[in-house]
Amino acid sequence: MPRKPKRTCSYPGCAELTDGRYCDKHQKQADSYYNKYERDPGTRKRYDRSWKRIRDRYIAEYPLCEECQKAGRLTPAEEVHHIIPLSKGGTNEDGNLMSLCTRCHSSITAREGERWARR
């Protein structure tokens, strides 16, 4: 299947070509800005070092995207998703987690309206 052509980074003045919205350098800056200024302070507290350990263990145990597997595709998992968000009473128990590729995680998050909700 043909690949989508690369586009220039959306960061002002950057001419780097990328597959996503930002190049690697500016993606880190965009994520940092989001986490610092736009993300709810309570959420920041829930995703600390212990979450990273849980996430790393879960990805090691379930290395493939669970949504892609349902569709018959084998895609490496890059993120861990809470089925019931922590903000709505979910936990970090294995039964509430699923490993996903970035594409599936973004589509689920957009559908649920967590990150891109209007304020």
Residue 102 lies in a domain: yes
Domain identity same for 89 and 71: yes
pLDDT category of residue 87 using cuts at 50, 70 and 90: confident
Residue 77 lies in a domain: yes
Look at 96 and 36; give whichever has higher pLDDT.
Answer: 96
pLDDT category of residue 104 using cuts at 50, 70 and 90: very high
**Long-range contacts of range 45-49, CB-CB < 8 Å, 24 or more positions apart?**
46/86
Segment 7-12 shows an average pLDDT of: 90
Residue 59 lies in a domain: yes
Answering whether pTM is above 0.85, one says: no
Domain identity same for 58 and 114: yes
Q: Identify the three-state secondary structure at position 24.
A: helix
Domain identity same for 30 and 87: no
What is the per-residue pLDDT for 51? 86
Domain identity same for 116 and 80: yes
Segment 86-91 shows an average pLDDT of: 84
Per-residue pLDDT tens digits for 50-64? 888 999 999 999 999
Residue 5 lies in a domain: yes
Look at 38 and 22; give whichever has higher pLDDT.
Answer: 22
Domains in the chain, number: 2
Residue 95 lies in a domain: yes
Residue 2 lies in a domain: yes
What is the per-residue pLDDT for 102? 92
What is the per-residue pLDDT for 36? 74
Residue 65 lies in a domain: yes
How far apart, in Å, are the Cα atoms of 113 and each of 28, 51, 60, 71, 107? 22, 22, 28, 23, 10
Residue 44 lies in a domain: no
Q: 31 lies in which domain range?
A: 1-39
What is the C-alpha to C-alpha distance for residues 62 and 47, in angstroms, rounded to an integer? 20
